[in-house]
Amino acid sequence: MQSRVWKSGDPFIWLAAGALGTALLMIGGLFWLIITRALGVFWPAELVLLELRTGERFLGHIGAVEASPDPENSKTLVRRIQVQVANRDLSSADFVWIDEDQIASRTRPTDAIVVERQEWGNLFGWLVAVTEDGEPIAQGSEQSWQVLQQMLPQVAAQRGRIRRLEQRQLGDINYRMEQTRLEMKRYELRGDDAGALQGVRERLTRLQAEYEQVYARLEAMKREAQRTVAVFQTASGQEKSVPLVQVVRAYWPNQMSTWQKVRLYCAKFWEFVSGEPRESNTEGGVFPAIFGTVLMVLIMSCAVVPFGVLAALYLREYARQGPAVRLVRIAVNNLAGVPSIVFGVFGLGFFIYSVGGSIDSWLFAERLPTPTFGTGGILWASLTLALLTVPVVIVATEEALAAVPREHREGSLALGATKYETIRNVVLPSALPGVFTGLILAMARGAGEVAPLMITGVVKLAPSLPLDHHWPYLHLDRKFMHLGFHIYDVGFQSPNVEAAKPMVYATTLLLVSIVVFLNLTAIFLRARIRKRLHAGAF
Amino acid sequence: MKVGNPGATLSFPVSDRVVRERVSEEGLTQALASRGELPDAILSVRNLSLSYDGQHWALQDISLDIPRHRVTAFIGPSGCGKSTLLRCFNRLNDLIDGVQIRGMINLDGMNIYDPRLAVTSLRKRVGMVFQRSNPFPKSIYDNVAYGPRLSGSRNRRELDEIVERGLRAAALWDEVKDRLDDNALSLSGGQQQRLCIARALAVEPEVLLMDEPCSALDPIATAKIEALIHELKGRYTIVVVTHNMQQAARVSDYTAFLYLGRLVEYGATDKIFTNPDQKETEDYITGRFG
Amino acid sequence: MPQRAHTDPHFDEELRKLHEKLLEMGGLIENQIATALDALVQRDDSLARLTIEQDHAVNRLDVEIDDMCLRLLARYQPAARDLRLITTALKITTDMERIGDMAVNMCERALELNQEPPLKPFIDIPRMVDIALGMLRESLNAFVREDVELALKVCRDDDQIDALTHQVFRELLSYMMEDPHSITRGIRLMFVAKYIERIADHATNIGEMVVFMVKGKSIRHLDRIPPSV
């Protein structure tokens, strides 16, 4: 009886289905965790005012509830709630733990305000006044709120102007000065043409003067922006003046309608995706990291596909199949199992020190001892990842080449085509979906890899994007930001880990979405090619 | 179907003029063919042996002549070497690692295994159609134009002409002339095989090798291909490998029976299918094998 | 010559059935000829009528064998030896059917002759029947055993019948010249001799077809029978 049940295969089916189900459950759980945690980040939560029996007052978002043993009586448990109180500049911690039985009252004050600031994170409190040059122009919560609402757009514009001046104009002058300085150094290295050197020196002086001028204008604008100040009172009664230019956004979460909350949500999400990071990456946006990730994956793809396809072509089509080729194939497969940090170290040693160092001494001698390619950069990081993922592409391409029907090759050869013509016209087009499969797998692996990047060019905060308006537009030597590293950095290296937690989830979701998006693009392309290859009635 | 063996009557006094005429031409050919030789041969194979591994010989000491502008069929059970022999004619066996070939094949008096000969130019003279129709995953037009493009024809008007000629020769033009840009894989199986024939003809070969061209086709598509073979034999020399003995009997002028790598019998199809000389041939074609 | 079996045993079975039918038909016509001679010699009307009656069975077998051959051709597309066997069967069944007709004709003449007194004792005609019957039997044996030598012997034996026919003609001619009253009977007996000669011709045809069937070589329409093939 028992053996019949086994022979019928039903238990096996259940076993197989169970394995798949478990895998799906775990993946689903992971996604559920990421999505629920990440999507909640931008929702404006309510502010709760807690008054304790001791008379202390806390205003903040209620977080996790935890039960911990009573320090005096270990038999009983004490429920504690976590409250995010913000005001990092006033109190030492962002978060406080409060024993539940200490709480005397919980209220939701309608005029409690959340202020997102350029520095020091959020401020929770009440608006007291708005002053200009020390003179109050609005008093009281309501009136000040009106004034604040009116002024914030102007302030944002002002902030934009300051940033543009700082980054564009000042940056350009800086860049030109740097170029001129390098030019000067080149002349000095060559040691001839004193006249030209003199000209360059004069140009540098002119640039210097221009720089001073713009800098003065910037200073003036900054001073101007400091004039208007909003005054807040916190729950503990402290007063805090914040220059309006520091205020990114202010809202009364306890009296917002759902529609307003949705709008705020979208705005904050957009800021996250398109904005620059603030407060050592724990706030603001992650645009540079998105950009860096995508660009790195693209450069990696551009490097890994030709490289892997050519290698696979030789291995499958030209090499005489034998023990040597089998050995190479095993080696390639094993390469995929080497820890990624080893690739990072290799990239550091080979690409950065050897190749980069050589490039520097040949082409950028004038910049030394400051390295150009002799230090981590997006090119080296991409190439290191290309090396890491090339086995995947080789294996996938080889499989695809092997799957090209022999009839197609022979059909082409029988028409008088050479082997090269056959490969170019018949074999490669047929193998293209397989190449794309390899690329998809490579991208999925490459986009999520962090360890090798940390030593080949990723930084916590890159001063500029690798793509800008200065020739040659794409700066492969620049350091860049990466979402994976961002997660690691914000989640584990930031001074305020608790406050950064939402950011970690949001960034994770973003990274996963980007990987999914890149893969979907490749899958879509592959499907189109497949359709072309396999169209027909059969 | 003609019965009787005219060749054998040579030894008897002949009273009938009809018999005499029947004897004169075919009897001579028959006598030659029994030694594998035929007049006006385009391909002549002499003492050809082939081994894939250096130990077991897939072809053993084969000598035969393929007559010009005739259809020659190779028949024999699976693994008898008929496809291998066919693929010697355009040197497709060269692709296999470790293959050893001895003997000689002459194409119009030129040794095709001469190392000075470019194999691509040989393959342009000796076209091939395969068992499984294998159009490239390209448009119908690009399939037919594939060979001419390799030879350097780039001129669109010239290519148009070649494509039309090839498709007409393969009796496919009327069916596909309005959808030349469609994917070749959208054609039916029989059409795909005729497209492969058109593709081979577009290079204007002298010899057309067909390796079981109908084995994957339904009877109607098969009949179309067979009609096409009849049509083409005036201009091309056709060598066809087939499992289907009735097909060999229908389409070919000469038939070679191979067994275990040896050429057992070669002669006029009429003779092979009515009165073969060898017991092995007879047993095979009457279905007594195995 | 021992033959290997076909890969498809059904085909062998069908060919065996074809053989059986041909032999059955052969037995029938042999019997027909023998009884026809008896009817003639013993002047037995009822035996003659019985023999005529028997021809229906022969005709039925002829049609059956034709059908069977066509079916085999269509279904198995035979080649070489099998093809020759079936085409041979098609042709010899016609010959055998004609032999049956000849026996019937002999009986009809016998019925007519029985109306009148006997012309002369039968001497040469029974000998002719004997030889013709032997040829028929041998040609069928040659067919069954695929024996070329025997088939060739049948073809050669035809000369004896031809010689005897001439002898019978001459003898009957002399009777008729002596006595004009004997002309009717003489002509009828001449017909009988002619019928027997035809039977031998058909047997020769069967022999020739057997040679073709076995050897694939036609020995028809030649000046003389080859000593061997």
Spatial CA neighbour of B197 closest among B243, B236, B158: B236
Is there a contact between B128 and A414 if contact means CB atoms under 8 Å apart? Answer: yes
Q: Distance (Å, rounded) from C-alpha B229 to C-alpha B193?
A: 12
Is A208 within 8 Å of A177 (Cβ atoms)?
yes
- C4, C11, C216 ranked by CB distance to B275: nearest: C216
* Helices (H), ranges, B151-201: 156-169, 173-176, 189-201
Task: Tell me the pLDDT band of A535, cut-offs 50, 70 and 90.
Answer: low
Residue of chain C with shortest Cα separation from B19? C221
- Chain B positions in Cβ-Cβ contact with residue C75 (cut-off 8 Å): none
Tokens describing residue A88: 């990092």
**ipTM, 2 decimals?**
0.84
Is residue C40 a contact partner of residue B245, using CB atoms and an 8 Å limit?
no
- The whole-number average pLDDT for the span C179-183 is 89
Average per-residue pLDDT in chain A? 86
Whether residues A415 and B188 touch (CB distance < 8 A) is answered with no
Residue with tokens 């099998």: C82
* Contact list, B124 vs chain A (CB under 8 Å): 415-416
Give the separation between CA C123 and CA A84, rounded to whole angstroms: 142
What's residue C200's pLDDT? 95
Greatest CA separation for chain B: 65
Mean pLDDT over each residue of chain C, to the nearest integer: 91
Among chain C residues, CA nearest to B18: C221
Nearest CA in chain B to C85: B274
Q: Quick one: pLDDT at residue B3?
A: 37
> What is the reported pTM?
0.77
Q: What percent of chain A shows pLDDT beyond 90?
A: 25
Q: Hey, what's the torsion of the CAs at C210, C211, C217, C219, to 10 degrees?
A: -110
Torsion angle in degrees (nearest 10) through CA of B228, B230, B236, B240 = 80
C-alpha dist (Å) from residue A361 to A99, A186, A491, B180, C68: 64, 13, 39, 58, 97
Tokens read off for C131: 């030889």
Are A537 and B188 in contact (CB < 8 Å)?
yes
Residue type, C39: A
Binary contact (C212, B15; C-beta < 8 A): no
Q: Please name every residue paired with B57 in a beta bridge, in sequence order, or none if there are none.
A: B51
Of B127, B131, B132, which has the smallest distance from its Cβ to A414's Cβ?
Answer: B127
Q: Is a pLDDT exceeding 50 seen at residue A212?
A: yes
Q: Which chains touch B (3 or more CB pairs under 8 A)?
A: A, C
In this predicted structure, which of A10-24, A182-196, A238-252, A475-489 has the lowest mean pLDDT?
A: A182-196
Nearest to A536 among B130, B185, B199 (CB): B185
Chain B residues with beta carbon closer than 8 angstroms to that of A533: 137, 185
Which residues of C are less than 8 Å from B77 in CB distance?
Answer: none
Which chain B positions have a beta carbon within 8 Å of A535's beta carbon?
137, 183, 185-186
List residues of B whose CB lies inside 8 A of any C CB: 3-5, 8-9, 12-16, 19, 245-246, 249, 272-276, 281-283, 285-290
The answer to whether C37 and C126 are in contact (CB under 8 A) is yes
Q: How far is the C-alpha of B150 from the C-alpha of B13, rounded, in Å?
A: 59
- Encode pLDDT of A409-423 as tens digits: 999 999 999 999 999
Record: contact B289-C7, CB cut-off 8 A: yes
Rank A319-328, A505-514, A516-525, C198-207 by mean pLDDT and report only the highest. C198-207
Name the residue type at position C52: I
**What SS3 string covers B223-287?**
HHHHHHHHHHCCCCEEEEECCCHHHHHHHCCEEEEEECCEEEEEEEHHHHHHCCCCHHHHHHHCC
pLDDT of residue B2: 36
What pairs with residue B51 in β-bridges?
A: B57, B100
Q: Which chains touch A (3 or more CB pairs under 8 A)?
A: B
Contact B4 C216 (CB under 8 A): yes
Looking at the predicted structure, is the pLDDT value of residue A111 above 50? yes
> If you average pLDDT over residues C134-156, what whole number do you get?
93
Q: Which of A407, A413, A535 sits opposite B185 (nearest CB)?
A: A535
Q: Which of B97, B134, B187 sits opposite A320 (nearest CB)?
A: B97
Question: Are A220 and A12 contacting, i.e. CB atoms less than 8 angstroms apart?
Answer: no
Q: Which segments of chain B have a pLDDT < 50? A: 1-25, 28, 290
DSSP string, C15-51: HHHHHHHHHHHHHHHHHHHHHHHHHHHTT-HHHHHHH
- CA B174 to chain C, closest CA, distance in angstroms equals 34
Mean pLDDT value across residues C11-28: 93
A309/C32 Cα distance (integer angstroms): 88
pLDDT for position B165? 92
- Please give the Cα distance from A81 to A63 (Å, whole number): 7
Give the closest of B123, B183, B200 to A536, CB-based: B183
**Residue B257, beta-bridge partner list:** B75, B265
A156 in the Ramachandran plot: left (φ > 0), alpha (ψ -120 to 50) or beta? alpha
C76 band by pLDDT with thresholds 50, 70 and 90: confident
Mean pLDDT of A243-260: 87
